[in-house]
Amino acid sequence: MERSFDPHAIERELYEEWEAAGYFAPSGEGSEYCIAIPPPNVTGSLHMGHAFQHTLMDALIRYHRMNGRRTLWQMGTDHAGISTQMLVERQLNGEGKTRREVGRDAFIERVWEWKERSGGNISRQLRRMGSSVDWSRDRFTLDDGFAGAVMDVFVRLYEEGLIYRGKRLVNWDPQLATAISDLEIENREEDGHLWHFRYPLKDGATTVDGKDYLVVATTRPETMLGDTGVAVHPGDERYRHLVGKVATLPLVGRALPIVADEYVDPEFGTGCVKITPAHDFNDNQVGARHGLPLENIFTARAAINENAPEAYRGLDRLEARKRIVADLDALGLLDGVEPHRLTVPRGDRSEAVVEPWLTDQWFVKIAPLAEAAVAAVENGDIEFVPNQYANVYFAWMREIQDWCISRQLWWGHRIPAWYDADGNIHVGRTEAEARLKGNLSGEVVLTRDEDVLDTWFSSALWTFATLGWPAETNELKRFHPTDVLVTGHDIIFFWVTRMIMMTLKFMGEVPFRKVYIHGLVRDAEGRKMSKTKGNGLDPLDLIDGIVLEDLVRKRTENLTQPRMAPRIEKDTRKDFPKGIPSFGTDALRFTFCALASTGRDVRFDLSRTEGYRNFCNKLWNAARFVLMNAREHPLDGPAEPGLAGRWIQSRARRLVEDCHLALETYRFDLYANAIYEFAWHEYCDWYLELAKPLLWDENAPLAHQTGARRTLVTVLELLLRAAHPILPFITETIWRDVAPLLAKAGPSIMLEPFPQSGDLAADPEAEASIDWLKGVVTALRNIRGEAGIKPGREIDVLLQGGDARDRDLAASSGYLLQRLAKVSSIDWLPRGERPPANALALVGELKVMVPLAGVIDIDAERARINKQIERKQKELQRIGGKLGNEKFVRNAPPAIVEKERNKAADVQSALTTLKQQLDSLA
RNA sequence: GGGUGUUUAGCUCAGUUGGGAGAGCGACGGCCUUACAAGCCGUAGGUCGCAGGUUCGAGCCCUGCAACACCCA
């Protein structure tokens, strides 16, 4: 083995081998375990969120596979309508063409080409992460079978009246020229203005203060062209007499009825609100209540349309805004302008300001579906981990709105609806079916709906459509419902809710039994990682490393906002002055697990990854040590594990218990910590050191040496299996060297059983003994460190006090004690005898002393003792306070009181000893 | 405006029925000890956001406040 661990030498090769051997496919006859991968965007690339998520899923998958479950990790990718189409359109625009020029069929052809060319990216990257997905069952949301399922669902919902087409106010993205759903909106606080306009009153009406006009305020002056009313609060004394009267819309001349509606906040502005039912969701409702007409004034690109006065037609909305304000000002109808902070809705893809716009769209009537979905979580059929997300789910589901599922795009599942010349709608899985159902002859000309379905409509079917639905396949029977969905809290509404609703509807069962929600990966400052901010990290750069110049280039090229480049470059050079070293996949995976605590967002800290890279190296070197010492010797024959051997096996049993518990409860952090702690601080720091003296001692009995070697190998092998789900590559590599020593002939650690605590004996006696030994060794190291005794120098040790147990332990572990603490002699001093000047440490009642004899600085020793005295006094004070409290003694459980009393006695006794020691140093 | 979460060592975070405040990184001191300097040994550092309350006892339970983050309107 190499002197240090080199991930690159092993990772790719091992993965190819596993995949070729078919280890990722379900096997064995155990009960099924299944996770459906949240399908990544087919043309996307791996970001930190994916890497995080896939690490957790792979850990679960490998764990359950090793536990003997028949395990399927269903792979697949999503066509990601809007973002993929935007990407290809941008390429097209770069060539000076638009998609309309190219035409629908050619454009879709082009997207497919792009998919074929770049679709392999994400798969390659997933392989680098070590993800053991079943590639043989790879699916795509636009593949033929999946498309069939989507059509089927659409038609069935339509036939049941759960899908309808309607003219509604929708969120319209004028840049993409498509409707988007509520969820695709990002509301941002931005600086704007509040304009006050005078709307003249008709028929000589006046306000209470005698004015012949009303003042309305707006943040979007251009929409006034579509005003069809003015509203006031019904209880507002200032305007009560005007309700039912009429105002005139300036520039347009339209008569605006004045209506009373609770919606109006009398405290805000003048208490008069202009009502634009076709361009504002609230106004739309007010308008509906009072029968106000809808007046659409925008085109699909948010320019002013022919319904507006000629002067404004064709103007972009912002241009129109300026003109309108200027024109009103010229007419003396501008009553004032003030700066105003407002919430602006923007499309999450295009970042364009979204307009409420009146169009024909397809909707899913959601309430009937939501009911069962809420019940499934209420009654525990589906469990959220952590549980707090159930509340987020409920809150959303109980106020859920109908789902706008049509998108004015070309890339996606085209809506299976056809229109005849009279505008009648015919829905069917195919045009033929639509004709058949509509009883239409071949002569009737049908035109298919131009729109496609929201991407989430198809991914809502993910768990069952990937398994073959609507066919009743074996896989569907065996693997559905899946066991757990692993996803981020950002897509609970987009995806989790819709999967639950659709799956309950069409499968009659839940899609998954648990939903594990993990946090989002943020940068070291807690900011969201994004291309725009240039603070993102590519997981592969952490695995393979990247030099600074490449990193800077990568972060600054192809920016949507090129002006950010200098800033990004500066930050990058500051944060990664030496680029990023190569850490390897295992170290990255370990980092993600260790950071995955209770579902909160994680700040990604490179120094953690570095630490876990070091951990991998530690494991590697421990294995080197074990192999060096065990390879040349037979491991069978009489073997005596000894106290240390019994101890480490007992500790290993605890490790195994902890691992199972942590993984069953999705505490990946506790799992990672348990592995780290055991491997480094128990196995390496102590057991290896305890084994060394025996291995190196020519006079040691063979059975003891064999026992130590066997223990070294068996515990290492067990540790490798326990760590495999999180560190697949390094564990496999080492395991292949180690397993043969135990006559294990399996081809891969992947196929070995996860350790069970029943395999190991609990040994409290050995644990107590080694704890004692560690206490004495640590005490002596402390004296050495504090007193500045050279590490190489051997010391004499005097023991005094203590009880029979101390004597037994000193006798039984004296051999180890001497070697671990570089002790040349151990002698007992009779109780009561005055020791020579010494440095003292206490292990319980036992005095552990190192005679000064010129090796120790008396002043330093006095300082050290004083420090301990101070500490003990503080402790005694605290305990004394408790025991002095009558209520405590009376009310606390006797066991607690007893414990405190014993503690007080121990501390008191230690204090006495320390004080004597201080006197003796005087 | 409503909701959820967070606030523990310099930094990032654990702390599982309320009963002796922990880890990693960083800092400081000492070591090239024959697996590992990506290492070993030792040390320092915290009024557990603030104010109340419940309790014999609160990092943990309750109330209020503050700051930050996210979600919804």
A393-418 pLDDT, tens digit per residue, is 988 888 888 888 988 888 899 999 99
Q: What is the rounded average pLDDT of the residues A179-202?
A: 82
Give the pLDDT confidence of A260-314 residue by residue, as tens digits. 888 888 777 788 889 898 888 888 888 888 888 988 889 889 898 898 888 888 8
Q: What is the rounded average pLDDT of the residues A755-774?
A: 91
A392-406, A457-471, A653-667, A706-720: which has the minimum mean pLDDT? Answer: A392-406
CA separation (Å) from A595 to A126, A541, A591? Answer: 20, 19, 6
Residue A776 pLDDT greater than 70, yes or no:
yes
CB atoms inside a 10 Å sphere around CB A910: 20
Res. A587 pLDDT band, cuts 50 70 90: very high
Nearest-nucleotide field for A868 (CA, C1'): B43
Round and report the angstrom distance from CA (A8) to C1' (B23).
29
Round and report the angstrom distance from CA (A796) to C1' (B1).
74
Rounded distance, CA A171 to CA A401, Å? Answer: 13
Reference A455, options A40, A76, A80; nearest CA is: A80
Pairing of strands A521-522, A602-603: parallel
Res. A856 pLDDT band, cuts 50 70 90: low
Token pair listed for A147: 């498309």
What is the structure's pLDDT at A391? 86
Q: Could you tell me what percentage of chain A is helix, strand and coil, using 3-state DSSP and rounding each to the nearest 5? A: 50, 20, 30
Round and report the angstrom distance from CA (A607) to C1' (B11).
10
Res. A881 pLDDT band, cuts 50 70 90: confident
Res. A178 pLDDT band, cuts 50 70 90: confident
Give the residue nearest to nucleotide B5 (CA to C1'): A600
Pairing of strands A383-385, A512-518: parallel
Residue A31 pLDDT greater than 70, yes or no:
yes
Rounded distance, CA A497 to CA A505, Å? Answer: 12
Residue A82 pLDDT greater than 90, yes or no:
no
Distance of CA A415 to the CA centre of its chain: 33
Round and report the angstrom distance from CA (A123) to C1' (B37).
38
Nearest-nucleotide field for A604 (CA, C1'): B12
- Which are the contacts of A197, defined by CB distance < 8 A and separation ≥ 6? A215, A216, A217, A218, A221, A224, A250, A274, A328, A333, A334, A335
Supply the mean pLDDT for chain A: 89
Round and report the angstrom distance from CA (A76) to C1' (B12).
34
Nearest-nucleotide field for A6 (CA, C1'): B38
Reference A675, options A719, A715, A623; nearest CA is: A719
Against a cut of 0.80, is the pTM above it?
yes
Nearest-nucleotide field for A670 (CA, C1'): B14
CA separation (Å) from A219 to A147, A192, A224? Answer: 44, 7, 10
Residue A854 pLDDT greater than 70, yes or no:
no
A236-250, A616-630, A670-684, A724-738: which has the minimum mean pLDDT? Answer: A236-250
Give the residue nearest to nucleotide B4 (CA to C1'): A392
Round and report the angstrom distance from CA (A76) to C1' (B60).
43
Round and report the angstrom distance from CA (A602) to C1' (B47).
29
What is the structure's pLDDT at A387? 86
- When mean pLDDT is compared over A79-88, A111-120, A149-158, A852-861, the highest value belongs to A149-158
Give the pLDDT confidence of A510-534 residue by residue, as tens digits. 999 999 999 888 887 777 787 777 7
Nearest-nucleotide field for A396 (CA, C1'): B72
- Which are the contacts of A611, defined by CB distance < 8 A and separation ≥ 6? none
Round and report the angstrom distance from CA (A677) to C1' (B23).
9
Round and report the angstrom distance from CA (A44) to C1' (B50).
47
Round and report the angstrom distance from CA (A419) to C1' (B37).
76
Helices marked H in A192-302:
281-290
Distance of CA A877 to the CA centre of its chain: 46
Round and report the angstrom distance from CA (A602) to C1' (B13).
10
What is the structure's pLDDT at A339? 82
Nearest-nucleotide field for A662 (CA, C1'): B16
Round and report the angstrom distance from CA (A496) to C1' (B3).
20
Rounded distance, CA A374 to CA A381, Å? Answer: 10
**Nucleotides, chain B, CB distance < 7 Å:** 3-6, 11-15, 19-20, 23-26, 29-31, 33-44, 55-57, 69-73
Round and report the angstrom distance from CA (A375) to C1' (B1).
29
Nearest-nucleotide field for A182 (CA, C1'): B72
Nearest-nucleotide field for A889 (CA, C1'): B56
Percentage with pLDDT > 70 across chain A? 99
Round and report the angstrom distance from CA (A808) to C1' (B21).
34
What is the structure's pLDDT at A770? 92
Cα-based angle A365, A366, A372 (whole degrees, multiple of 5): 135
Q: What is the rounded average pLDDT of the residues A24-35?
A: 94
What is the structure's pLDDT at A535? 79
Nearest-nucleotide field for A902 (CA, C1'): B20
Nearest-nucleotide field for A1 (CA, C1'): B35
Round and report the angstrom distance from CA (A658) to C1' (B56).
34
Nearest-nucleotide field for A822 (CA, C1'): B33
Give the residue nearest to nucleotide B42 (CA to C1'): A785
CA separation (Å) from A290 to A216, A274, A646, A714? Answer: 19, 13, 84, 81
Nearest-nucleotide field for A684 (CA, C1'): B35
Res. A855 pLDDT band, cuts 50 70 90: low
Helix-helix angle A120-128:A48-66, to 10 degrees: 60
Give the pLDDT confidence of A670-702 residue by residue, as tens digits. 999 999 999 999 999 999 999 999 898 888 888
Nearest-nucleotide field for A345 (CA, C1'): B73
Give the residue nearest to nucleotide B57 (CA to C1'): A888
Round and report the angstrom distance from CA (A711) to C1' (B39).
24
CB atoms inside a 10 Å sphere around CB A257: 17
Residues A413, A147 contacting (CB under 8 angstroms):
yes
Task: Determine whether A328 is exposed, middle or buried from the number of CB atoms within 10 Å of its CB (0-12, 13-18, 19+).
Answer: buried
Percentage with pLDDT > 90 across chain A? 40
Strand partners, A232: A260, A272
Give the residue nearest to nucleotide B29 (CA to C1'): A785
Give the pLDDT confidence of A322-353 residue by residue, as tens digits. 998 888 888 888 888 888 877 888 887 788 88
Terminal-to-terminal C-alpha distance of chain A: 56
In a 3-state reduction of DSSP, which class is residue A167? strand
Res. A175 pLDDT band, cuts 50 70 90: confident
Residue A501 pLDDT greater than 80, yes or no:
yes
What is the structure's pLDDT at A802? 85
Round and report the angstrom distance from CA (A784) to C1' (B29).
12
Give the residue nearest to nucleotide B6 (CA to C1'): A600
Round and report the angstrom distance from CA (A502) to C1' (B52).
50
With tokens 């005596």, the residue in question is A640
Round and report the angstrom distance from CA (A697) to C1' (B34).
14
What is the structure's pLDDT at A871? 84
Rounded distance, CA A826 to CA A333, Å? Answer: 102
Token pair listed for A131: 């993800």
Nearest-nucleotide field for A686 (CA, C1'): B40
Strand partners, A199: A214
Residue A736 pLDDT greater than 80, yes or no:
yes
A36-45, A150-159, A645-654: which has the minimum mean pLDDT? Answer: A36-45
Nearest-nucleotide field for A613 (CA, C1'): B38
CA separation (Å) from A806 to A685, A771, A776, A811, A845? Answer: 23, 12, 10, 8, 9
Q: Where are the beta strands (DSSP E) in A131-250?
A: 134-140, 163-173, 178-180, 185-200, 213-218, 229-232, 246-248
Here the ipTM equals 0.94
What 3 state SS string does A482-542 have? EEEEEEEHHHHHHHHHHHHHHHHHHHCCCCEEEEEEECCEECCCCCECCCCCCCCCCHHHH
